[in-house]
Amino acid sequence: MSQKREVFISVDIETAGPIVGEHSMLTVGACLAFNPEIEFSVMLKPISDKSVAAALEVSGLTLEQAQNDGLAPVEAMSQFAIWIAKNAPEGSTPVFVGLNAPFDWSFVNYYFLKYLSENPFGFTALDIKALFMGATGCSWHDTKSSSIDKRVFPTLQGDHDALHDAKYQAELFRLVYELSLRN
């Protein structure tokens, strides 16, 4: 039995709040985890006027900015799907990689299924926090990015810009993955 080639794609999003389908995904940033110069970024028009002030403060985005500058969700997700297909060729498996992947994946999954009827990542994601916990035997509390940083020493930092954070996460993933191979 042959194993499909896996293409690890670091994905980060910024949202208007925590509830999938109620709050909008405002930006998506992605890059190949092992070749982060190959990147994707898009802003989306909001799907509702609901927001949580703290969520918007974190990213510095506004619903008005997203409405004016963003693409319709179907267009944004179509562009993302095309980018994934281009960078995860036929016969390979695109693997969604994230830091707190359940949160980001849930929005990305919802948007892909709602607007395109298919999620190129399937129904799973690889969480860097869980990988770090498995590689080090640490507690869940010690899987915060600041704790991971102290162990693997990335050169990048997150700043709540989806593309910047995707690149930071890609570096964390590579460093944690290497750590997991040594243990």
Q: Which residues are marked as active site?
A: 160
What is the helix (H) or strand (E) element at residue 36, kind and residue range? strand 35-43
* Separation between Cα atoms, residue 137 and residue 50, nearest integer Å: 39
Query: What pairing do the DSSP bridges indicate for beta strands 126-127 and 92-98?
Result: parallel
Cβ proximity of 7 and 86 under 8 Å: no
Amino acid at 14: E
Instruction: Evaluate whether 27 touches 44 at the Cβ level (below 8 Å).
Output: yes
Tokens representing 14?
């910024």
Q: What letter does residue 41 receive in the DSSP assignment?
A: E
Q: What does the alpha-carbon distance between residue 131 and residue 17 come to, in Å, rounded to a whole number?
A: 26
Distances from the Cα of 183 to the Cα of 94, 119, 131, 135, 180, angstroms: 25, 33, 12, 7, 5
Backbone angles phi, psi at 86, to 5 degrees: -65, -35
